[in-house]
C-alpha cells in the first residue's frame, strides 16, 4: 500500500498570478512499498489547485518534482518542490500530493489555503515553519478568525514558530496574536535579516498570559522566530502575526558620535558610550526619519552607566524650538520616561549635571502611535 505524510512545509499564504517559486517540503513514506526516485516506477511530488467550490482549477501549469532519493517505508526526505500559481486571482486550496506510476495520486495529501492576487500585496510570499504541528502552520497566516495554528501538544521549552517575510524589510514592531487562549507561557522573540545572525527583541521567562507585542528600533528583518522557554499544560496557539513597517533611525552624539548607531542595533552586547564622565551639556540625539506621535522613551545602559541627571526634549517644527518632555535627577536606573503625546522627528537627551561615571546606551525604544500593521486581514 502506498501512503504519504507531509511532515513540514513552508508554502506561502499569498502568491501573484503565474508566480513560480520553490517550496520546502518534508515528506515521509508511511506505506509498505519503497518509493523509487528514478526509472519507470519513479514517484514525484505534485499539486492541485482547488477553487472555492473545491473543483480543480484548470489554468495552472502542472509541475512535478522528482524525489531526491529513494525512500523506504518510514523514511523521510526534505527537499524543494516547484510551485506555479494559477493565472486567475482568487482564494484557493493547494493540495500537495505524491504521484505514483500511471499518474496515480495517493489522495491524502497536504491541503493549504492560498490567496492568489493580480499584483503583489504586503503578505505576498510570507511563509511559516514550526517544529511542532508543522503541517498546519498556514493557519496562523490565513486571515480566518475561525482557524488558528496550535502546537497539538502541551507547551515545552524548545518549541518554536518561524515567519519568513520572503525578503528583508525595515520593521519596528511585531504582534503574535492568540485566539484569547493558548498564549506562550514564556518565550524569547528573535529577528534576523538573513536567517543566520539573530537579534533578541523580547524575552518573558514565565507567567505570560496575553498576546505577544514587541516594539524596537527599526531593524532590517526577514525572519521572525519565537522560541518557548517555559512548560505549560496548555497547547500553544497562534491566530495571526502582524508586523509594522518602519523608517530607519539615525543617531548622533556630542561624544563618541561614530559609535552612536550602536544604540540603535537592538543588541545588548553592543553600546554607545560617552567614554568620559557625564558633564552638563553632554547629549545624545535620535532622528526618527519622519514625524511621529510619541509618548515615551526607554533607554537601556551598561552596568552603572545610566544618565544620572538628564532632560528629554523634542523638536517642535511648528514653533521652531526644542520643548521639554521629561526631566529627572539622581537617576540610577534604566530610563523609562512617559510624557504627554507630541509630534516630532527629533529627540534629544541631555545631561544636566556632572556625574563621576560615563554614560552609555545599549538599546533605545520610543513609545509612539503605530498604525497600519501588515498581515493577513482577520475575517
Q: What is the pLDDT of residues 28-73, one digit of tens each?
A: 999 888 999 998 889 899 999 998 888 888 888 878 899 999 999 9
Q: Which residues of 335-360 are buried (b: 16+ CB within 10 A; e: fewer)?
A: bebebeeeebbbbbbbbbeebeebbb
| Over residues 193-200, mean pLDDT | 96
Q: What domains can be seen in the chain, in order of their start residue?
A: 1-122 (2.60.40.10), 126-246 (2.60.120.260), 250-365 (2.60.120.260)
User: Considering only CA atoms, which of 34, 99, 32 is closest in space to residue 66?
Assistant: 99
Residue 339, pLDDT > 90, answer yes
DSSP symbol at 67: -
The tens digit of pLDDT for each residue in 68-92 reads: 999 999 999 999 999 999 999 999 9
Q: What is the pLDDT of residue 377?
A: 62
pLDDT at 379 > cutoff 70: no
Buried b (16+ CB within 10 A) or exposed e, 33-63: eebbbeeeeebbbbbbbeeeeeeebeebeee
- Say whether 302 sits in a helix, a strand or coil: coil
pTM, entire model? 0.87
Residue 299 pLDDT > 80, yes or no?
yes
- Supply the pLDDT for residue 107: 62
The position carrying cell 514525484 is: 44
Query: Backbone phi, then psi, for 259, in 5-degree steps?
Result: -105, 5
144 pLDDT tier (thresholds 50, 70, 90)? confident
pLDDT of 378 > 60? The answer is: no
Which pLDDT value is given to residue 274?
Answer: 98
Q: Residue 196 is placed in which grid cell?
A: 543566520
Query: Residue 213: which pLDDT band, with cuts at 50, 70 and 90?
Result: very high
Average predicted confidence (pLDDT) for the chain: 93
Amino acid at each position: 500500500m502506498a501512503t504519504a505524510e507531509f511532515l513540514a512545509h513552508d508554502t506561502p499564504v499569498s502568491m501573484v498570478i503565474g508566480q513560480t517559486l520553490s517550496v520546502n517540503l518534508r515528506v515521509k513514506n508511511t506505506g509498505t512499498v519503497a518509493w523509487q526516485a528514478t526509472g519507470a516506477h519513479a514517484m514525484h511530488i505534485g499539486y492541485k489547485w482547488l477553487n472555492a467550490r473545491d473543483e480543480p482549477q484548470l489554468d495552472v501549469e502542472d509541475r512535478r518534482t522528482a524525489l531526491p532519493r529513494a525512500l523506504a517505508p518510514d523514511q523521510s526526505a526534505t527537499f524543494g518542490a516547484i510551485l506555479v500559481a494559477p493565472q486567475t486571482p482568487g482564494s484557493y486550496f493547494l493540495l500537495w500530493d505524491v504521484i505514483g506510476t500511471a499518474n496515480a495520486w495517493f489522495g491524502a495529501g497536504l491541503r493549504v489555503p492560498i490567496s492568489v492576487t493580480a499584483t503583489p500585496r504586503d503578505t505576498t510570499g510570507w511563509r511559516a515553519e514550526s517544529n511542532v504541528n508543522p503541517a498546519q502552520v498556514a493557519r496562523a497566516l490565513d486571515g480566518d478568525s475561525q482557524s488558528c495554528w496550535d502546537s497539538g501538544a502541551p507547551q515545552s521549552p524548545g518549541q518554536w514558530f518561524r515567519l519568513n517575510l520572503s525578503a528583508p524589510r525595515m520593521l519596528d514592531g511585531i504582534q503574535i496574536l492568540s485566539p484569547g487562549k493558548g498564549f506562550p507561557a514564556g518565550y524569547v522573540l528573535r529577528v534576523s535579516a538573513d536567517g543566520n545572525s539573530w537579534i533578541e527583541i523580547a524575552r518573558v521567562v514565565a507567567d505570560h498570559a496575553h498576546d505577544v507585542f514587541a516594539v524596537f528600533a527599526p531593524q532590517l528583518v526577514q525572519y521572525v522566530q519565537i522560541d518557548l522557554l517555559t512548560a505549560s499544560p496548555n497547547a500553544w496557539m497562534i491566530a495571526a502575526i502582524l508586523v509594522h513597517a518602519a523608517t530607519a533611525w539615525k543617531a548622533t552624539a556630542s561624544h563618541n558620535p561614530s559609535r552612536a548607531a550602536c544604540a540603535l542595533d537592538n543588541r545588548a552586547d553592543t553600546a554607545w558610550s560617552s567614554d568620559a564622565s557625564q558633564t552638563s551639556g553632554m547629549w545624545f540625539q535620535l532622528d526618527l526619519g519622519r514625524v511621529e506621535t510619541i509618548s515615551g522613551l526607554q533607554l537601556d545602559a551598561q552596568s552603572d552607566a545610566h544618565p544620572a541627571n538628564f532632560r528629554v526634549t523634542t523638536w517642535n517644527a511648528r514653533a521652531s524650538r526644542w520643548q521639554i518632555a521629561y526631566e529627572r535627577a539622581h537617576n540610577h536606573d534604566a530610563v523609562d520616561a512617559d510624557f504627554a503625546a507630541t509630534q516630532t522627528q527629533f529627540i534629544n537627551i541631555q545631561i544636566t549635571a556632572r556625574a563621576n561615571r560615563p554614560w552609555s546606551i545599549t538599546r533605545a525604544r520610543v513609545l509612539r502611535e503605530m498604525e497600519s500593521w501588515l498581515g493577513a486581514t482577520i475575517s
